[in-house]
Amino acid sequence: MPYIIQNQGTPHERICDLRYGVNTIGRGLDNSIVVEDDARSLSRHHAEIQVTDKGIFVTDLNSSNGTLVNQIKIAQQKLNHNDLVQFGSVIFRLVDELKSDASSSGSEINAIANPTNASSGLSILMRVSPEKSRVNMQDLLKQNIVSSGSVLMIQESDEAQRTSAKLRVLLEVSQELSSPEAYSALPEKILELLLKIMSVDRAVLLLVDEKTGNLEPKAAKFSNPNATANLDFYSRKIANFVLKQGDAIISDDASGDRRFDSSQSIIQQSIQAAMCAPLKPRDRTIGVLYVDNLSHGHAYHKEDLEFLSSLANQAAIAIENANLYQSMQSEVIRRTKLERFFPAAVSQKIEEGWDLNRIIETEVTALFSDISGFTEMTAPMQPRKVLEFLNEYFKVMVEDIVFPFGGTLEKYIADALLAVWGSPYQRDDDAIMAVNAAIAMQWAMRKLNEDWTEQGRDLQIQIHIGLNTGMVASGNIGSENLIQYTNIGDTMNVASRICTAAQAGDVFISESTKVKIESLHLPLEKLDLIKVKGKEEPLQLYRILWEQIDIRELSSKTRTIFPS
């Protein structure tokens, strides 16, 4: 199958397989290939790569920063082996294995006649594909073993050849366990490999529970297919002994071993012999690998224990890598969620240890924005189309405006959005940035309508915006498992009422916000006192005449740098 490589040749190299059919790429977690991009140059759904019988094609999904193939911006294009595909500022190289193999074969032939590779300038005497050098593990193993010999099912009998075969088997085990498996599926896979290589009656893999410190069985396998699938058969005495001591052991004729003479599992189940090896990727034992024999004692030899210990080392590394991979995936999800609500600079502050759990009182400027006539407009539309439209609209309003102007997204409320300036981080120009963002949103709405008209889409909408400045209590709210950073206070309620009072295409601000932005000298229209729900006294509001403001002046006022 083809694949794409990011950061090739660096410590951060990443290989992403391309499945047959459609592969979506972007920052959103629902993509086939999720790309973490600190520069935020990728859209949530940036592009797709389609693998078909006729070739591999890349299609840009109307992304903000475009898709390039070999430095040329494209809408859709067929890809060839070794093409460089750039999504925003993130670059991948396409590897088509079929074409790669074909070119490799030709290169090997040409290398004999002319050892200099024209494309690389290197003198190549021989070229070997790692995949072609691999062996089938079953070719190294035999189906039956001599009862008096090792339980290792190795074909070779000569000592040197046997040592070589064991190393090759361990190499194949390493290859089998090297892919990032689902953490929960890995114990089963390890035991399946073990039973292919060693003739044992039963095997179990146990891992240490981080909360209790006790060993917990994660998977068990039996040589007898009719055996009861019971995870509780192993000797706890032996398993705990190995966990504590950190050494692999053979209990040869376990029923007579004085170290374990009080073990009920050995006595009740007539365990004749057992081997147990620690799962120890570094200096900490994370579990044990246990096997036993019920038919006769003296079943295991030094060679068996050494091999089991080596296999346990491979298993421990695979488990630790899978655990790390799972943690990385969780971290990507956590950071993506964080970046949905906070600008990148604020997210960075939180990453550095900024405590969002304490409640603070702070002054904010709240911005409510709503789509005028949304219910009537979307009534004849299919729900899926409504959702696609809202995602497109919110992407512009939040990612392209609220975040660059330093605002924090608090929530979406159907077609409305609420953003604040001054929480969780406060600056002197919060109100100014909030008002500039509101003006930019109206200009962006006009541009969106023009684009939709050019695309032949029957979409023409207007928004109304209300802003208010005042004190709030900021902090996390909710249950232990589901929390949200929010701002509580009359300031927020009044901002919502001001938005409701505004008409299509309006930006209304309160008296308190007007005082904060006087240095801008914006064109304003003082309105008659307006009575709003929940307030006894009418409000003095002002309409910003945003159409008289040059949008180009606002582009230089975004917060591109967050103060330390």
Confirm if 14 and 31 have CB atoms less than 8 A apart: no
DSSP secondary structure, 277-302, as one string: EEE-SSSS--EEEEEEESS-SS---H
Q: Is the pLDDT of residue 279 over 90?
A: yes
pLDDT in tens, 435-493: 999 999 999 999 999 988 888 888 889 999 999 999 999 877 766 555 577 889 999 99
The least confident of 153-162, 205-214, 309-318 is: 153-162
Give alpha helix (H) positions in 177-233: 186-197
- The rounded distance, in Å, linking the Cα atoms of 211 and 199 is 34
CB atoms < 10 A from the CB of 200, how many? 24
Q: How much is the pLDDT for 132?
A: 43
What are the two backbone dihedrals, phi and then psi, of residue 206, each rounded to the nearest 5 degrees?
A: -120, 140
pTM, entire model? 0.47
Q: How much is the pLDDT for 297?
A: 62
Q: How much is the pLDDT for 140?
A: 56
Tokens coding 518: 């006087």
Q: How much is the pLDDT for 346?
A: 58
Contacts of 221 (CB under 8 A, 6+ apart): 188, 191, 192, 194, 195, 202, 203, 204
Domains along the sequence of the chain with CATH: 3-95 (2.60.200.20), 126-255+268-325 (3.30.450.40), 344-561 (3.30.70.1230)
Q: How confident is the model at residue 333 (pLDDT cuts 50, 70, 90)?
A: low
CB atoms < 10 A from the CB of 53, how many? 5
CB burial string 334-360: b at 16+ within 10 A, e below: eeeebbbbbbeebbebbeeeeebeeee
What are the two backbone dihedrals, phi and then psi, of residue 208, each rounded to the nearest 5 degrees?
A: -75, 130
Average pLDDT, the chain: 80
What are the two backbone dihedrals, phi and then psi, of residue 366, each rounded to the nearest 5 degrees?
A: -100, 140
- The rounded distance, in Å, linking the Cα atoms of 288 and 527 is 76
Q: How much is the pLDDT for 296?
A: 65
The total number of residues shown for the chain amounts to 564
Contacts of 25 (CB under 8 A, 6+ apart): 31, 32, 33, 35, 42, 46, 47, 48, 49, 87
Q: How much is the pLDDT for 115?
A: 42
Summarize the confidence of residues 152-167 as an average pLDDT. Answer: 74
Query: Helix, strand, coil: what percent of the chain each, to 5?
Result: 35, 25, 40
Q: How confident is the model at residue 235 (pLDDT cuts 50, 70, 90)?
A: confident
pLDDT in tens, 60-113: 999 888 999 998 999 999 999 999 999 988 999 999 865 554 444 444 434 333
CB atoms < 10 A from the CB of 66, how many? 17
Summarize the confidence of residues 350-369 as an average pLDDT. Answer: 79
DSSP lists the bridge partners of residue 526 as: 542
Q: How much is the pLDDT for 326?
A: 76
